[in-house]
Amino acid sequence: MPLGIIIILIAALAKLTLGVDVVTQIANTTAGGTNVHLEDYIESYRRQFTANLDDYNNRIDALHKLFERNLETVEIQKHLLLDRIRQTDEGLFPLELLNVQNKKCVSKHRNEIPSSAGTQDDISKCLETAKYQLRDIGTEPRQLLKALNNYYSNNFEKSISSCLAEANTPFTCVEGEILKANEFTINHNLKFNEEMDNSEHYARAHIKAALNCSFVIHFQAAMSIAETKLNIDLCMKSEDNYCMCKEGYTCNNLQRVPLSDLNSENIAIANPLYGTSNTCLMLTASSEGEDNLEDDAIRPQAAPID
Ligand SMILES: *[C@@H]1O[C@H](CO)[C@@H](O)[C@H](O)[C@H]1NC(C)=O
Ligand SMILES: CC(=O)N[C@H]1CO[C@H](CO)[C@@H](O)[C@@H]1O
């Protein structure tokens, strides 16, 4: 006799003697058909649980990646800045070769350019601090993921095994466990979302700190580079303490004349060359007590005496 017919007979018999519950049980568990269905039913939930765990994992990973991508940006910016410092440094070599005056100006100001090694160290410190904090990102969510995984693979599986082995009505028993597992999952999801929010908040704060840390270094370096270039430029235009008299000749004998001394009523002024070995003199008028050439009424005048 084909198996299907036996099952129908048993089901019919059971219905007569034991009532609806037993029919359900038999219909859900009889070999060759419905036992497989119950297994499928459980399996479909297992798949859902696994998908849930994967989702947790993906979200934690995404948070880490977000953090790492931002640190990569800092790393890229570091290389760009080091390039810029190198280019600035290299740009000074041809200037030095032009003439003695330029060479003096360049060597005087060259060390005002931020050093590559120092800059690299400073930005690396920003990155190290951030990476150190990265270790803690996602700790709580990861603990919740572990707890959920533990629940699915231990509590749930044990209950299901005992449902299948011991319960008179395994389907009802299994359904009860699935209901419990769903409830556990929903409560766990709420906690997980909350912890993810906290972690994201924490991560963002540290990303911001790392970007700010590197920004400050960039800003200072850019300022130093610009200032150095300006100083060298000013120096080469003899607005510094040197005067280019003619190609190849410089005068470093700069005398500041207070405005009050520029008195046309006086018949004589002191001889600034008297008793010195200087052979040239550059006079610059300066306002009283002030040491700033920028504000001078009269620009430096070259007065080679030889
Ligand atoms: C950025 O860093 C500088 C220097 O460390 C600090 O003074 C400043 O408060 C920081 N700004 C922000 C927005 O964190
Ligand atoms: C897989 C399967 O056949 N499930 C059935 C088990 O019995 C219940 C009745 O309690 C049905 O609702 C299910 O469809």
Complete DSSP assignment for 122-170: HHHHHHHHHHHHHTTTTHHHHHHHHHHHHIIIIIIHHHHHHHHHH-SSH
Q: Say if 206 falls within a structural domain.
A: yes
Would the CA dihedral through 276, 280, 286, 292 be positive or negative? negative
The two structure tokens encoding residue 147: 């707890």
Domain with 73 in it: what CATH number?
A: 1.20.1270
Task: Measure the CA–CA gap between 164 and 12, rounded to whole angstroms.
Answer: 23
Given the CA of residue 209, which atom of ligand 1 is nearest to it?
A: 14
Query: How do beta strands 243-246 and 254-258 pair?
Result: unpaired
Q: How far is CA 235 from CA 52, 66, 180, 206, 207, in A?
A: 69, 47, 81, 43, 42
Average pLDDT over residues 73-86: 94
Query: How do beta strands 254-258 and 280-286 pair?
Result: parallel
Would the CA dihedral through 130, 133, 134, 138 be positive or negative? negative
Q: State the pLDDT at residue 98.
A: 82
Q: State the pLDDT at residue 17.
A: 39
34 or 149, higher pLDDT: 149
CA of 86 to the centre of ligand 1 (A): 27
Average pLDDT over residues 122-132: 94
Location of structure tokens 């700069």:
254
Domains contained in the chain, number: 1
Q: Ligand 1 pocket: which of 122, 212, 218, 219 to mutate (most atoms <8 Å of CB)?
A: 212
Banded pLDDT at 82 (limits 50, 70, 90): very high
Given the CA of residue 34, which atom of ligand 2 is nearest to it?
A: 3
In three-state secondary structure terms, 257 is: strand
Q: Say if 304 falls within a structural domain.
A: no
Q: What angle do CA 14, 17, 18 make, to 5 degrees?
A: 70
Average pLDDT over residues 18-25: 42
Mean predicted lDDT score pLDDT of the chain? 80
Q: Say if 1 falls within a structural domain.
A: no
Q: Ligand 2 pocket: which of 7, 25, 28, 163 to mutate (most atoms <8 Å of CB)?
A: 28
Q: State the pLDDT at residue 218.
A: 94
Q: Ligand 1 pocket: which of 216, 217, 219, 220 to mutate (most atoms <8 Å of CB)?
A: 216
Q: Say if 4 falls within a structural domain.
A: no
Contact 250, 105 (CB under 8 A): no
Banded pLDDT at 14 (limits 50, 70, 90): very low
CA of 36 to the centre of ligand 2 (A): 12
Q: Give the tens place of pLDDT for each residue, 285-303.
A: 565 544 444 434 344 444 4
Q: Say if 108 falls within a structural domain.
A: yes
Q: Say if 263 falls within a structural domain.
A: no
Q: State the pLDDT at residue 79.
A: 94
Task: Measure the CA–CA gap between 251 and 244, rounded to whole angstroms.
Answer: 7
Residues with CB under 6 A from ligand 1: 212, 216
Banded pLDDT at 20 (limits 50, 70, 90): very low
Range of the domain at 126: 36-237
Q: Say if 281 falls within a structural domain.
A: no
Q: Give the tens place of pLDDT for each residue, 215-243.
A: 999 999 999 999 999 999 888 876 445 55
Q: State the pLDDT at residue 301.
A: 45
Task: Measure the CA–CA gap between 148 and 209, rounded to whole angstroms.
Answer: 33
Q: Say if 171 falls within a structural domain.
A: yes
Q: Give the tens place of pLDDT for each residue, 246-270.
A: 555 566 777 776 666 666 676 676 7
Banded pLDDT at 22 (limits 50, 70, 90): very low
Query: How do beta strands 301-304 and 243-246 pair?
Result: unpaired
How far is Cα of residue 263 from the mean position of the Cα atoms in its chain?
Answer: 63
